[in-house]
Chains A and B, each alone.
Chain A
């Protein structure tokens, strides 16, 4: 082979991933939404509960950015105030089902046996029901109120988490590092708490963040049906329900809370997607 033999050189396109930037962007948006909800009472330009029938059903503009409803209440203030009820009850709901479902799932996956079979059949029953119908039934039995709506939705949502954590726990408990922990003299509690929980947290957190959006919709849905927040309370679902008869004449009354739900759900879903990209074990290894 001679020295002047030509070697072909090719250029390679390098694809960069922007996971980190995406996380900052969508995570930032989600946190901004949460901050708005947390400080809602200080952010409202008007009192969201003050009625002034002379200003009823004003269209957007003229000092009321999103117009007013039929009692003359400022829509923007009500949407901001409503975020508190809707988002925090959704967060509370997600936290409850993550903890309850996660605990049941880890116990079943780790312990196995008859109790596992029993609890899984129970979760099957909940999964077999059409979720919303069951939630409506539970909510009407418990009568209205945000807390009761949360309880009703928790009843139908925990099995999903139990399923996820159970399969993860069953997979992890056979890995050598669990055996190694046992050989290091760690007891069952310590192994579960120190080695199993942190290692299944990733997929559970991703599911939970993705579920915030869904839960906002379901809580708003129950309230829309009159099974959630009681009337004077600013809550997106019940606000939409109040405005539905005026869709043609004063569409802003229903569009304002509707858009708020839409944007919030999209923000939490995109944030959940990026959290998944970050926590994906295949990506983390790189």
Chain B
């Protein structure tokens, strides 16, 4: 399999009142084309920081992030914006990930308009995308607070799909949703993966979800990677002490 994304020896330290706190410590992993890779761990273990590093929302201290074999960390301006056509992200709280004063349709079209697409073309594509995430077209004119969490997350997925990305990062994309809705979103992600050949980087704390969706998983604890492998093996036969506790804690 071809490697789509390679994370090499990423390290990030935050300073709070000059006291250093290592959020991510020497993390390495790669995501293959069409693969679903999972990052699990507790809150504060650094998994979301990695998502922000990949999407250039945070700059790491050291390390490199390769997309299709090319370094992405130093891309700026136009090239950085080009990167966002290949990497997209879905956030944890769907309602907060849309501007409360603009419609869902506006949000979905933003990237296409930024690429210089004409308004009517963007609109057409937006309705296609809404159909892909199984939302009726009338949702384009709704505001984020007018729709439910699940519907909003579908719209967020549509927005992420708009530039035809190769990799979609889901940062706890289903944790804020009700279980029945979560099941539907998981279904949708699976469908997109099969139909669009999308690679997924799934960041979550739910081992069951990782086991259902992911091909490989990296367990993180306090900024470091403690165990990597196929989810079934990691869960059924954990090698690391922390992984054992994590698996035992799930009801």
Q: Which residues of A come within 8 Å of B, CB atoms? A: 175-177, 179-187, 190, 194-195, 198-199, 281, 285
Q: Indicate with 1 or 0, residue by residue over B112-123, a CB within 8 angstroms of chain A CB atoms.
A: 001100000000
Task: Let me know if A180 and B159 touch, CB within 8 A.
Answer: yes
Shortest distance from the beta carbon of A198 to any chain B beta carbon, whole Å: 5
Determine chain A's interface SS by DSSP, over half rule. helix
Shortest distance from the beta carbon of B164 to any chain A beta carbon, whole Å: 13
Contacts of A194 in B (CB 8 A): 99, 102
User: What 10 new A-B contacts, CB under 8 Å, besides A177-B99, A181-B99?
Assistant: A177-B98, A179-B57, A179-B91, A180-B156, A183-B87, A183-B111, A185-B110, A185-B111, A198-B101, A199-B99
Shortest distance from the beta carbon of B5 to any chain A beta carbon, whole Å: 16
**Residue B96 contacts which of A176, A186, A187 (CB distance < 8 angstroms)?**
A176
Contacts of B160 in A (CB 8 A): 183
Shortest distance from the beta carbon of B49 to any chain A beta carbon, whole Å: 13
Contacts of B100 in A (CB 8 A): 177, 199, 281
Task: Let me know if B97 and A176 touch, CB within 8 A.
Answer: yes
B145 adjacent to chain A (CB < 8 Å): yes
Complex formed: what's the CA distance from A32 to B249 in Å? 67
Task: Let me know if A185 and B114 touch, CB within 8 A.
Answer: yes
Complex formed: what's the CA distance from A180 to B145 in Å? 17
Complex formed: what's the CA distance from A182 to B52 in Å? 12
Task: Let me know if B93 and A184 touch, CB within 8 A.
Answer: no
Shortest distance from the beta carbon of B15 to any chain A beta carbon, whole Å: 14
**Residue B93 contacts which of A176, A199, A281 (CB distance < 8 angstroms)?**
A176
Contacts of B156 in A (CB 8 A): 180
With both beta carbons as reference points, the residue of chain A lying nearest to B108 in the complex is identified as A184
Task: Let me know if A184 and B114 touch, CB within 8 A.
Answer: yes
Q: Indicate with 1 or 0, residue by residue over B34-77, a CB within 8 angstroms of chain A CB atoms.
A: 00000000000000000010011100000000000000000000
